[in-house]
């Protein structure tokens, strides 16, 4: 990838800004897709004087994490930036120190006691009590709106601290905290603020890691304070364990009055192997950080998706009730650890799909310990090994791997747990590594999955419905990154302004209300297309976050400071390219590309068949009441004929579908080469079952920017040439005298040229000459240059021309389709997915 920005810091700045905008994971995908292409999965990225590699190729990831892991380790900058907060432990060490740590803690995770469901149940009850305490249920049975995520963070902190130290931090119910024993000379630990210190310390660590070479620029006061508080907390328990020795557990049991069951406490077990207080502090803090936030974030995401996917919620709830019966607060003894996995078949698909859509750890990394190779990324097709010098850092964007369409299918952006059940259950490899893989694979995976499944079961037993109601209202919080990814807030608190001069069907507004209950929707009928109608009041723009329009914008971008994305109602964007809100802001713009496919392809085929069946001739005769079979012996039909589609977008793809159904052969021309099946996909919007999303209709693909490339396509024996390319500086007069000659050199005058793009793409004067000379058989023009075509223009009287006044895109179903695109985008936006038909601002379409 090329260097960017001042002194090469452009990418670093972009990525920091994206992270701040809760779109860090998406930034990596977008940068790779737009700058390299969807088929390229490994790249070198220069940042100032530093180079790193980024790869979303599972083969490379497998090599680094598993098969060639001896050549790789986590980066020093990662381990060293974490150490001040958590010390040297399994998470924060490399080489021999890591091996030692892993050998120390690993056996603990193989034990069944770590999956202590009684402990989890106690904390689930505290979670429910916290909900009941703070939120009175209405007559209709609903609690008021509240944010579940902080409750999950409290619960995870409480469970993990109890599992690790034997005493819960009690953050869910500070008033109900159990008394801690007294250690003479030592203050009791600050349980109230431990979560805050961990969060704030982690934020400092993350900035240090990102600015590693320049970390000395960062102030250290806050970090030092958080580190001291976190250390003090852990040291207190370590001291207690060392003082109590082997009586640690029995004392806890007698304090809590629960001696019925042998407890499991990680600190107690580790202290049987080492008595080094610093080691005990560091190893337990390492597990605390690894185990707390990740699981809390996962639970947040699971409920985030469940609240938006009623069908998934209902299916999971039905299976839960079938297996474990309805909720009984005082008894959960029938929920066994093994059954959690096996009794609810839909559970694992839901958890996996959540981790796929929102990998809790979206970015991992490794550094080469010696000169080595990665198996893929080199050579012309990117499938040959690449050399990686010692010391080179390689980023592994987990999120980018789970958003690869070629690996997951075209519905990659859709939350659909069923994908994990299809074909006898999806097996996954290194394209799905939410828990890492190979040598340093997560030790707590099973514990995390058990905990999440248990919480889900109890939740679904107790609650029969859930609606998403997260705030803050003014932020499009999506992937909120604090090393792990917290879920965002969807479209609640958002205001959608539909500023178009047409009636919106009530059924559409109702369905939006059902799917996005917290979205405020305002329809403002501006009276006419463009900006000339009734303007939307200046002061009302300030809360608008989503806009649907043709060209009605606030007078200045500053009037709409919260605007996040604009859904255009037109398929093209030329009319807004100079608007300050488009040019000078980061607001995303999406077109209504795809709305035109059906009607324009029908126009193309209609006019083409008119030529083949001499239709204008017979219509003229009808007007004169003339029964004349005249041309019946020159009438042709289509099977076996060839259509060449110049610009294989939404319209071209639907035309290809119809032409194929008529028995024609399709040749496609695109600017960039499409050598692989993946590269032929088109992820822009198309009505269900139409178009050619997979790119399977063309039998031949042509590409290239040069005139020679274009001529190769034009000389491929075309009976019909469909001009369907956008108008840009490069496509002005793209089809002129030389191109008509090229068509004629093989077609011998049999080609019909159909222009449904823009008039200036075809040189009008040279088209008239080509028709006059018989270089082409005819021209069907829905667009002309100039437009409107003035009276007396020679094109009106040129023979073999069908002209319509730029109407091929009209259809009574246009608005219905445009609104369908808006709805798709609302759904994607609320789930942090990629917007469909998003305009690349630099390209302008």
Closest-approach residue to ligand HEM (CB) = 444
Please report whether residue 434 would count as binding ligand HEM according to CB under 6 A: yes
Please report whether residue 74 would count as binding ligand HEM according to CB under 6 A: yes
Minimum Å distance from CB 287 to ligand HEM? 5
Window of 433-441, 564-572, 616-624, 835-843 that interacts with ligand HEM by CB under 6 A: 433-441
CA 564 to chain centre: 16
Q: Are 657 and 687 in contact (CB under 8 A)?
A: no
Minimum Å distance from CB 510 to ligand HEM? 37
Where do we find the tokens 């759904």? 827
Would the annotation count 442 as a binding residue? yes
Minimum Å distance from CB 101 to ligand HEM? 7
Nearer to ligand HEM, 149 or 364 (CB): 364
Minimum Å distance from CB 167 to ligand HEM? 16
Among the listed residues 100, 575, 613, 806, the single catalytic one is 806
Window of 246-254, 318-326, 439-447, 734-742 that interacts with ligand HEM by CB under 6 A: 439-447
Nearer to ligand HEM, 39 or 269 (CB): 269
**Cis before 786 (ω within 30):** yes
Please report whether residue 284 would count as binding ligand HEM according to CB under 6 A: no
State which of residues 304, 305, 313, 435 lies at the interface with ligand HEM (CB under 6 A).
435
Nearer to ligand HEM, 92 or 815 (CB): 92
CA 418 to chain centre: 18
> How many residues bind to ligand HEM according to rule CB under 6 A?
22
Minimum Å distance from CB 100 to ligand HEM? 11
What is the separation, in whole angstroms, between the first and last Cα of the chain?
22
Residue 516 Cα distances to 138, 221, 414, 564, 588, angstroms: 21, 44, 16, 17, 20
Nearer to ligand HEM, 102 or 700 (CB): 102
Window of 145-153, 283-291, 495-503, 699-707 that interacts with ligand HEM by CB under 6 A: 283-291
Rounded distance, CA 654 to CA 693, Å? 9
Minimum Å distance from CB 440 to ligand HEM? 4
Rounded distance, CA 788 to CA 767, Å? 17
Please report whether residue 493 would count as binding ligand HEM according to CB under 6 A: no
Please report whether residue 302 would count as binding ligand HEM according to CB under 6 A: no
Please report whether residue 223 would count as binding ligand HEM according to CB under 6 A: no
The helix/strand/coil state of 37 is: coil
What DSSP designation does 536 have? P
Please report whether residue 327 would count as binding ligand HEM according to CB under 6 A: no
Nearer to ligand HEM, 443 or 569 (CB): 443
Nearer to ligand HEM, 364 or 815 (CB): 364
Q: Binders of ligand HEM among 351-370, rule CB under 6 A? A: 360-361, 364
* Beta bridge partner(s), residue 54: 43, 395
Please report whether residue 442 would count as binding ligand HEM according to CB under 6 A: yes
Rounded distance, CA 605 to CA 440, Å? 59
Nearer to ligand HEM, 72 or 829 (CB): 72
State which of residues 55, 295, 393, 703 lies at the interface with ligand HEM (CB under 6 A).
295
How deeply is 4 buried, as exposed, middle or buried, from its count of CB atoms within 10 A (0-12, 13-18, 19+)? middle
Minimum Å distance from CB 115 to ligand HEM? 11
Minimum Å distance from CB 201 to ligand HEM? 18
Nearer to ligand HEM, 266 or 460 (CB): 266
Please report whether residue 444 would count as binding ligand HEM according to CB under 6 A: yes
Q: What share of the chain is helix, strand, coil (3-state, %, to 5)?
A: 45, 10, 40
Please report whether residue 476 would count as binding ligand HEM according to CB under 6 A: no
Where do we find the tokens 């667009």? 783
Q: Are 634 and 614 in contact (CB under 8 A)?
A: yes
What DSSP designation does 651 have? H
Q: Are 537 and 509 in contact (CB under 8 A)?
A: no
Nearer to ligand HEM, 75 or 691 (CB): 75
Rounded distance, CA 16 to CA 389, Å? 27
State which of residues 378, 382, 385, 436 lies at the interface with ligand HEM (CB under 6 A).
436
Tell me the backbone φ, ψ of residue 152, rounded to 5 degrees: -70, -40
Q: Are 350 and 312 in contact (CB under 8 A)?
A: yes
In the numeric block, which tokens belong to residue 821? 């695109």
Gyration radius of the chain over CA positions: 32
Window of 120-128, 190-198, 429-437, 625-633 that interacts with ligand HEM by CB under 6 A: 429-437
State which of residues 31, 290, 743, 770 lies at the interface with ligand HEM (CB under 6 A).
290
Where do we find the tokens 């995390």? 448
Contacts (Cβ under 8 Å, ≥6 apart) of 626: none
Rounded distance, CA 62 to CA 71, Å? 12
Q: Are 544 and 497 in contact (CB under 8 A)?
A: yes
User: Cβ atoms within 10 A of the Cβ of 235, count?
Assistant: 17
Contacts (Cβ under 8 Å, ≥6 apart) of 641: 664, 665, 719, 720
Q: Are 16 and 207 in contact (CB under 8 A)?
A: no
Minimum Å distance from CB 554 to ligand HEM? 42
Nearer to ligand HEM, 41 or 292 (CB): 292
Please report whether residue 90 would count as binding ligand HEM according to CB under 6 A: yes
Tell me the backbone φ, ψ of residue 779, rounded to 5 degrees: -140, 130
Q: Binders of ligand HEM among 102-121, rule CB under 6 A? A: 102
Q: Is 481 a catalytic residue?
A: no
State which of residues 169, 270, 271, 287 lies at the interface with ligand HEM (CB under 6 A).
287
Window of 338-346, 443-451, 674-682, 741-749 that interacts with ligand HEM by CB under 6 A: 443-451
* Beta bridge partner(s), residue 364: 396
**Cis before 40 (ω within 30):** no
Minimum Å distance from CB 588 to ligand HEM? 29
The helix/strand/coil state of 125 is: helix
Residues of this chain that bind ligand HEM (CB under 6 A): 74, 90-91, 102, 287, 290-291, 294-295, 298, 360-361, 364, 434-436, 440, 442-444, 447-448
Residues forming the active site: 806
- Binding annotation for heme: 442
* Binding site as annotated, residues: 442
């Amino acid at each position: 990838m090329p260097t960017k920005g001042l002194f090469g810091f452009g990418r670093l700045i972009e990525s920091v800004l994206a992270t701040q905008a809760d779109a860090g994971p998406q930034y990596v995908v977008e940068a790779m897709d737009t700058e390299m292409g969807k088929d390229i999965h490994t790249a070198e990225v220069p940042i100032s004087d530093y180079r790193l590699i980024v790869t979303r190729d599972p083969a490379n990831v497998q090599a680094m994490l598993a098969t060639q892991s001896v050549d790789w380790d986590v980066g020093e900058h990662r381990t060293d930036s974490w150490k001040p907060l958590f010390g040297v432990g399994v998470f924060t060490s490399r080489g021999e120190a890591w091996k030692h740590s892993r050998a120390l803690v690993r056996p603990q995770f193989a034990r069944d006691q770590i999956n202590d469901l009684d402990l989890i149940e106690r904390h689930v009850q505290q979670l429910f009590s916290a909900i009941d305490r703070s939120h009175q249920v209405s007559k209709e049975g609903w609690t008021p709106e509240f944010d579940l995520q902080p409750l999950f963070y409290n619960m995870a902190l409480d469970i993990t601290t109890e599992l690790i130290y034997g005493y819960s931090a009690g953050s869910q119910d500070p008033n109900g905290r159990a008394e801690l024993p007294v250690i003479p000379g030592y203050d009791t630990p600050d349980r109230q603020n431990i979560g805050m210190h961990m969060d704030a310390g982690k934020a400092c660590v993350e900035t240090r890691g990102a600015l590693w070479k320049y970390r000395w620029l960062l102030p250290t006061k806050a970090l030092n304070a958080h580190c001291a508080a976190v250390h003090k907390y852990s040291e207190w328990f370590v001291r207690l364990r060392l003082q109590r020795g082997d009586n640690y557990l029995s004392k806890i049991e007698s304090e809590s009055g629960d001696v019925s069951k042998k407890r499991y406490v990680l600190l107690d077990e580790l202290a049987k192997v080492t008595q080094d207080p610093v080691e005990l502090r560091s190893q337990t803090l390492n597990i605390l950080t690894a185990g707390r936030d990740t699981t809390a974030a996962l639970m947040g995401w699971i409920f985030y998706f469940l609240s938006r996917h009623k069908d998934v919620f209902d299916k999971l709830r039905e299976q839960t009730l079938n297996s474990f019966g309805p909720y009984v607060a005082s008894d959960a003894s029938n929920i066994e650890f093994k059954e959690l996995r096996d009794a609810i078949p839909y559970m694992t698909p839901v958890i996996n799909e959540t981790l796929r859509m929102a990998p809790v750890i979206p970015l991992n990394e490794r550094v080469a310990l010696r000169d080595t190779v990665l198996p893929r990324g080199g050579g012309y097709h990117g499938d040959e090994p690449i050399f990686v010098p010692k010391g080179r850092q390689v980023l592994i964007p987990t999120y980018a791997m789970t958003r690869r369409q070629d690996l997951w299918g075209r519905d990659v952006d859709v939350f659909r747990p069923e994908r994990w059940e299809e074909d006898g259950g999806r097996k996954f490899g290194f394209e799905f590594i939410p828990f890492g893989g190979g040598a340093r694979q997560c030790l707590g995976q099973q514990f995390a999955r058990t905990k999440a499944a248990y919480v889900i079961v109890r939740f679904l037993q107790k609650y029969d419905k859930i609606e998403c109601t997260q705030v803050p209202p003014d932020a499009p919080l999506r992937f909120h990154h604090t090393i792990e990814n917290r879920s965002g807030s969807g479209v609640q608190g958002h205001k959608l302004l539909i500023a178009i001069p047409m009636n919106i069907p009530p059924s559409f507004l109702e369905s939006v209300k059902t799917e996005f209950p917290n979205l405020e929707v305002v329809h403002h009928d501006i009276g006419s297309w463009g900006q000339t109608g009734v303007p939307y009041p200046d002061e009302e723009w300030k809360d608008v976050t989503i806009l649907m329009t043709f060209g009605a914008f606030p007078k200045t971008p500053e009037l709409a400071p919260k605007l996040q994305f604009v859904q255009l109602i037109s398929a093209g964007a030329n009319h807004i390219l100079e608007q300050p809100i488009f040019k000078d802001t980061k607001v995303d713009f999406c077109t209504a590309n795809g709305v035109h496919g059906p009607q324009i392809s029908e126009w193309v085929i209609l006019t083409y068949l008119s030529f083949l069946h001499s239709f204008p001739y017979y219509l003229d005769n009808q007007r004169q009441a003339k029964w004349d079979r005249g041309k019946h012996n020159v009438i042709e039909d289509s099977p076996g004929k060839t259509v060449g589609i110049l610009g294989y977008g939404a319209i071209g793809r639907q035309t290809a579908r119809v032409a194929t159904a008529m028995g024609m052969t399709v040749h496609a021309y695109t600017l960039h080469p499409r050598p692989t099946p993946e590269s032929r996909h088109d992820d822009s919007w198309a009505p269900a079952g139409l178009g050619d999303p997979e790119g399977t209709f063309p039998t031949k693909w042509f590409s290239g920017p040069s005139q020679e490339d274009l001529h190769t396509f034009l000389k491929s024996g075309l009976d019909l040439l469909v001009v369907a390319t956008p108008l840009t500086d490069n496509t002005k007069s793209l089809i002129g005298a030389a191109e008509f000659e090229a068509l004629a050199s093989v077609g011998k005058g049999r080609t019909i040229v159909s222009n449904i793009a823009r008039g200036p793409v075809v040189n009008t004067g040279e088209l008239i000459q080509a028709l006059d000379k018989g270089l082409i058989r005819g021209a069907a023009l829905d667009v002309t240059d100039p437009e409107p075509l003035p009276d007396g223009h020679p094109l009106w009287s040129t023979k073999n021309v069908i002209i319509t006044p730029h109407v091929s895109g009209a259809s009574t179903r246009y608005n219905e389709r445009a609104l369908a695109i808006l709805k798709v985008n609302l759904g994607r936006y609320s789930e942090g997915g990629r917007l469909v038909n998003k305009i690349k601002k630099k390209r302008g379409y």
